[in-house]
A and B are shown apart, each in its own frame.
Chain A
Amino acid sequence: MKPTEPALLAGISTEYADMLLLRFGEFTLKGKNRTRFEKTMLRHVREIVKPYPKARLLKEYGRIYVELNGEPAEDLLEGLVKLFGISSVSPVKAVRPVLEDIVEASLEFIGRINPEPGTTFKVNARRVWKDFPYGSQEMNRLVSAPLLKAFQALSVDVRTPELELRVEVREQQAYIFCENIPAVGGFPLGTNGKAMLLLSGGIDSPVAAWSSMRRGLEVECVHFFSYPYTSREARQKVVDLARVLSRYAGTIRLHLVPFTEVQTSFAGIGQDNLMITLMRRAMLRIATALAEREGALALITGDSLGQVASQTLPSMNVIGRATELPLLRPLVMMDKSEIVALAQQIGTYDLSILPFEDCCTLFVPKSPTTKPNLNIVERVEATLPGYADRLAEAAAAAITVEITPHGDERPADEADLIPAVKEDWF
């Protein structure tokens, strides 16, 4: 499942709609936890709807209706289809529960969709209000007859219709809808716990973050920087990436870890080809310490099998042993082109390809090993004086920023540049 492209968002019948019907993703299957998932879902939908004061929410078993009351359907739709846990959205027309009104609205609906000649179609009516004079089967006939008459382009196919007009008759109102606009699916954010993601600044890790959030994980990010060997811009790029991710999460906590000391301690020990392995293991250890501090129960990386030396299976084996936490790798079996396409849709791609040196591209040996030996790696680590303390110090020195989509939050150590910015110049 991919994030829906903005161009495809506007349903044809959106302008005509009075309500939006939101269907939930697969979490509706989850027996006892269902109520908890649905409550969280409702809270997240309420956040999206908040800027539209006239819109009202109506919760039903397995769905939420957004009554528009004049609020712009298209704008709301744009936010709702990106909301984790929503599987699809249908623009709905609400009319009085009388046959004439239902038929009239159905005609208008199909007219707007303007079906191509030969389109197969069926009406799927459901009588929820049992006092309504016509039964569901009868309604199918009563609604489809005038439609077939008005639109020569339509022909009936009750099994696999291209167009299915749904009619639900309730006591207060009858609902008519047709289009199913696919949404992002997954679980409501945070309903599956919290994990710590290693955010590098490349293309993959932001996609791993988005994929994890879509599975209902709350994601905190950790980034390693090596001043003065890496630039301010490289770190700012990661802050900017976290800001894009925060659009999907509301807030992203980003931990910036000064990595210079750890990284330089690996230099000059005559193990150049193990450099990447040692670095990655150190990162996992620091991330583990932060995860424990923050109450996260797993680590996430953007590893994709075989992509670089540190992502071969032997490397993953040796590197992954540095942590006891579950190590989640959402992209492990994806092709690069799929990851790139996702990054573009999420909106992180353009940032990710900005060319700044980060601590992984720095001090890269000429031939990093693709088959590190665990025994050797462990022995090398054991010979590094004060290694564990250095890792603990790095974790303790992490600078934490809470990043919001439209905020201007900066890492605390950048505050010293702000005096240069005199507000009366602006």
Chain B
Amino acid sequence: MIYWDYAAAAPPHDEVARTVEQLMRLHYANPSSLHRAGAEAAALIERARQVSAAALGVLPGEIRFTSGATESNNLAIKGAALQYTGRGRHIITTEIEHPSVYESCLQLQAMGWEATFIRPDAYGMVNPSEVAAAVRRDTVLVSVMHVNNEVGSVQPLSEIGRVVKSANPRTLFHVDGVQGFGKLPGGPRDFGADLYSLSPHKIRGPRGTGLLYVKEGVQLFPLLSGGAHEGGIRAGTENLPAIVAGAKALRMAAERRGEFVSRILPLRNRLLAFLRGIPEFTVNSGEEGAPHIVHFSYPGMKGEVMARQLEQLGMLVSTRSACSSRLAEPSRVLLAMGRGESTALGGIRISFGDEHTASDVGALEQALLGAIKALKIVEGGMR
């Protein structure tokens, strides 16, 4: 079996798993406890905050630990909306956001907010001037992802950050950085972001922990109340082993980014070229996209069927983002990019990790050919 679903969850580094285990055994004390064991646990959390901040190029006081990027995105959007209702009740995002952003905006809409969803072009790219044109006096927040989790398109965030602030300096800018960190250059400061979400388990860290960068001076209304943890915006006993190991994963991903990209990019380009050569497929990713995501459709063939066929041939792939792949509906992202329904139903996402080799890609290519052949026989038999 070869695992091609790093964008959904990446296998943790051995060092990460070791850190989690040791910390679970040694530092079980509650970081809020007054005694020495509690103080040690608190010191570990603060060190993790520093290491994470350094990896992102921000101040330690600007890092908040959450339970994952889904929580970070929910907190960024609803927390900002509830905090700054006085500034207005309008929010802007895109048609291609992760469900945790997209549905948070829908929730606000249901609560009487106005939400503007910006449509991307055929390559899954959002046009900064369209975002700028949507910003109004009462726009509280703009949320745009760094890398689309389904097709890998990269958004021009520095430009978007700049035009949003020049249209309305009080509008906050949130970036869902989950699929971009460790793969592409740029952090929250480069994007002019006020809020930035990350998830260590996408970069070979542990699950159950996430980060939210909150620019100094920005306030959020807590969604979880019940304690003064995390600067008062996120109550709950800290998940210490995961927070520390997550900081490690962040540091490693930042340090190894250059090496990762130079190794994976040729493999990605080879796969793109191969997929383009197959007449049955429509390729939805491009060379300008993120280095680790390749997405294609087999129009007329449900993605799920293709994925099962590939699994039989030893390849584990996704149909789209893992959070949506159990839905039998066409992909919202592909529809927004202007693809037809049959293309939007037939998507397959391949995502690379740093352990993949050229021979893995060769095996995947063979499996894809095999899958088409097998499916054609069935299709023909059914007709």
Contact = CB atoms under 8 A, between A and B. Distances in A.
A420 B245 contact: no
Interface string A334-361: 0000000000100100100011000000
B354 interface: no
B40 A420 contact: yes
Nearest to B166: A10
Interface string B29-52: 000001010011101100110110
B150 to A, nearest CB: 33
Contact of A426 (B39, B217, B231, B248): B248
A54 interface: no
A354 B227 CA distance: 12
Given A7-B170, A347-B217, A420-B44, A354 B228 contact: yes
Interface in A267-311: none
B27 interface: yes
Contacts of B118: none
A30 interface: no
Interface in A58-114: none
Interface in B148-201: 165, 169-170
Contact of A418 (B15, B41, B43, B219): B43
Contacts of A8: 169
A240 interface: yes
Contacts of A231: 34
A8 B166 CA distance: 11
Nearest to A419: B40
A20 B244 CA distance: 44
B48 A426 contact: yes
Given A425-B19, A425-B245, A426-B51, A7 B217 contact: no
Given A7-B169, A240-B61, A426 B40 contact: no
A406 B59 contact: yes
Contacts of B41: 420
Contacts, number: 48
Interface centre among A347, A417, A420, A424 (most CB of B within 10 A): A420
A376 to B, nearest CB: 38
A420 B43 CA distance: 8
Contacts of B36: 417
B22 interface: yes
B23 interface: yes
Contacts of B22: 425
Nearest to A408: B50
Contacts of A412: none
B13 interface: no
B216 interface: yes
A421 interface: yes
B47 A347 contact: no
A141 interface: no
> Interface of chain B, helix or strand or loop or mixed?
helix
Contacts of B136: none
B351 to A, nearest CB: 27
Interface in A368-410: 406, 408
A43 interface: no
B251 interface: yes
B216 A347 contact: yes
A425 B244 contact: yes
A270 to B, nearest CB: 31
B247 interface: yes
A406 B216 CA distance: 14
A30 B335 CA distance: 70
A34 interface: no
Contacts of A408: 50
A321 interface: no
A79 B47 CA distance: 28
Contact of B39 (A344, A347, A354, A417): A417
A426 B228 contact: no
B27 A420 contact: yes
A408 to B, nearest CB: 6
Contacts of A417: 36, 39-40, 43
B159 to A, nearest CB: 14
B251 A426 contact: yes
A240 B170 CA distance: 27
A39 interface: no
A426 B247 contact: yes
Interface string A1-14: 00000011000000
Contacts of B216: 347
Interface string B238-254: 00000011011001000
B195 to A, nearest CB: 16
Contacts of A344: 217
A51 to B, nearest CB: 13
Interface string A312-349: 00000000000000000000000000000000100100
B254 to A, nearest CB: 12
A240 B62 CA distance: 13
Contacts of B34: 231-232
B58 to A, nearest CB: 11
A421 B245 contact: no
Nearest to B32: A233
A344 B43 CA distance: 27
Nearest to B165: A7
Interface in B211-245: 216-217, 219, 228, 231-232, 244-245
Contact of B228 (A240, A350, A355): A355
A240 B244 CA distance: 22
A425 B172 CA distance: 35
Interface centre among B15, B39, B219 (most CB of A within 10 A): B39
A43 to B, nearest CB: 26
Contact of A421 (B43, B228, B248): B43
A417 to B, nearest CB: 5
A426 B244 CA distance: 6
Contacts of B47: 421, 426
Contact of A425 (B39, B219, B231, B248): B248
A406 B53 CA distance: 11
A372 to B, nearest CB: 34
A424 B217 CA distance: 33
A232 B219 CA distance: 25
Interface in A202-253: 231-232, 240
Nearest to B252: A426
B211 to A, nearest CB: 15
A420 B22 CA distance: 12
Contacts of B23: 425
11 contacts: A7-B169, A231-B34, A354-B232, A408-B50, A417-B36, A420-B27, A420-B44, A421-B40, A425-B44, A426-B51, A426-B251
Given A406-B59, A421-B40, A425-B23, 17 more contacts: A7-B165, A7-B169, A232-B39, A344-B217, A347-B216, A347-B217, A350-B231, A354-B228, A354-B232, A417-B36, A420-B44, A421-B43, A425-B22, A426-B47, A426-B48, A426-B248, A426-B251
6 shortest interchain CB distances as A-B pairs:
A420-B40, A7-B169, A425-B19, A417-B43, A426-B51, A421-B47
Interface of B: 15, 19, 22-23, 27, 34, 36, 39-41, 43-44, 47-48, 50-51, 59, 61, 165, 169-170, 216-217, 219, 228, 231-232, 244-245, 247-248, 251
